[in-house]
Amino acid sequence: MRFLLTLTYFLSSYALASGPESPSPIAAQWQTTMVEEAAKELKIAAQDSIEAWGLFSMGGWSDNGQIFFLKRTRDKKVFLYRVKPNGSNLEPRSKVEAKKFKDLEKVFVKADKLESVLPVAFDALTYEYVHLVMKKGETLTTHRMLIRDLGEKPLPEHRLVIEAFQKFQ
């Protein structure tokens, strides 16, 4: 029985890491919310495109909150959206200062080059970084990365991504 549970978990972890087009169970409703908010912003603000970055979390019993940023391409305004750890409500959006976001964008550039890290574990906190661009009538996921950090080996680049988002939590 234990073998079957481990095998099932391993296969589901493998499926999660199979690429950007894979559906993700990591806080899926909040990822949907990010896409919906980007679509609203695209329409309301009459933008050519919206760029979005999110860090979503899920564990067996809890999560570490959900956070995403939307950036308008024309006027360069950036908005922050948050859900508190174990929360069920999206907080009102807030504007992000250009200087703070410029520093964060440097982390996003590095994150877009990282691969998923998914050691097999039962009931571990898992993060998913998602970067997407939305243009009229089209949403393109440019990068998706899963992170399950069990402390078994150093993951400084992956931890940097998590910490950068958490500064805004």
Centroid of chain to Cα 37: 14
Distance separating alpha carbons of residues 94 and 80, to the nearest angstrom: 5
User: Contact at 8 Å (CB) between 80 and 92?
Assistant: no
Mean pLDDT by 10 residues, the chain (169 residues): 34 40 68 91 82 92 92 91 93 92 94 91 87 87 88 85 92
Q: Nearest CA to 70 among 138, 161, 116, 132?
A: 132
Q: Where are the strands (E) in the chain, listed by range? A: 49-58, 66-72, 78-83, 94-95, 126-135, 138-147
Amino acid at 26: I
Amino acid at 166: Q
pTM for the complete prediction? 0.81
The parent domain of residue 146 ranges over 2-166
- DSSP secondary structure letter of residue 60: S
Q: What is the number of structural domains in the chain?
A: 1
* Strands across the sheet containing 126-135: 94-95, 78-83, 66-72, 49-58, 126-135, 138-147
Please tell me the predicted confidence (pLDDT) of residue 137. 72
